[in-house]
Every structure is written in C-alpha cells, then in structure tokens.
Homo-oligomer: A and B are copies of this chain.
Amino acid sequence: MTNPVTKDRRHFEDLTVGEVIELGRITVTKEMIIEFASEFDPFPFHLDEAAAKASLLGGLASSGWQTGGLSLRLLVDAFLSKIASAGGLGFTDLKWKAPVMADDTIGGTVTIAELRRSATHKQWGIVTLDFDIRNQKDKQVMSLRLNNLVDTRSPETLA
C-alpha cells in the first residue's frame, strides 16, 4: 500500500535517532505579528505598538502560537516535505522561553529523539521530533516535542 505520491521520499526505515535537521530562518515582521494576532490571539501586546511598549515585554511581540506555526513551516520545508509524512499526532512540553519581538529572526534545529512502529497500524511509524527554536542572538525562544506519523515501506519488507 505504498503511496505513489511519496514513494521516492525517505520512509520510516530511512530515519535515524539523533539526526539533526537544520531549519531555515524567518524574520517576524510587525505586519506578520499584527495579522496573526488579529485572527488568533488579539491581545494589546500583539496588536498595538504603544500598548506593547507599556507592557512587560516592552515592545510588540509575536503570539506564541505564531512562533509555533512558523517553526512548523520551517520543519515542513526542511524535513517533513521530504519524507513520507502522514500527519501529526500531537505534541508535548511546548514551552515559550522568551518573547519573539518584531524584526527578530527565528530558526534553529529539530532532532529525531525517538522512532517506533505503530502497534496498531503496520503501515506507520512514529517519529518524535525535538524542536530547539532560537532567535538571532542564539537565545532559545521555544522548545517542543512533536509526534508525527511516517509511512513505513511496504509491510512485505518487514522483518
């Protein structure tokens, strides 16, 4: 039951615990912060520069969920679009460590922490990915652990 769309991509068996994926980088502009927050996280410190300056953060900061979404996008571009990904299951231990301010550039690494076969669905494995997201000063801004399904090669090749 190999998926014809993804058959030439790396599958579960081609991944290795400890592999480090270098993410690209993205600069978070004032406009991006305001647009995202208007839809998902409408607080003054994400929407209004004057209010943001008066807040604890001292300036316009991105929604933590935007930092999460942008980090996902960096992982899709660097990794998930190149493997036979079958979708996310969920994640654990997301921590926002420091704010992402307007004009900060974020990037970082994602490390393969665990690989295990699905107990119930032989066609899938589960790859556990640890995100280490940092700003341009190499300060960590977010960490999280994502569980993602990956197609295995055809069940016939299983030992």
Chain A interface residues toward B at CB < 8 A:
5, 39-45, 51, 56, 64-65, 68-70, 72-73, 76, 80-81, 85-96
A-B contact list, 9 entries, CB within 8 Å: A40-B72, A41-B73, A43-B80, A43-B81, A56-B87, A64-B88, A65-B65, A65-B68, A94-B94
Given contacts A72-B40, A72-B41, contact A92 B89 (CB under 8 A): no
For A40, what are the chain B residues with a Cβ–Cβ distance below 8 Å?
Answer: 69-70, 72-73
For A76, what are the chain B residues with a Cβ–Cβ distance below 8 Å?
Answer: 41-43
For A43, what are the chain B residues with a Cβ–Cβ distance below 8 Å?
Answer: 76, 80-81, 85, 87
Q: How far is the CA of A21 from the CA of B145 in the complex (A)?
A: 28
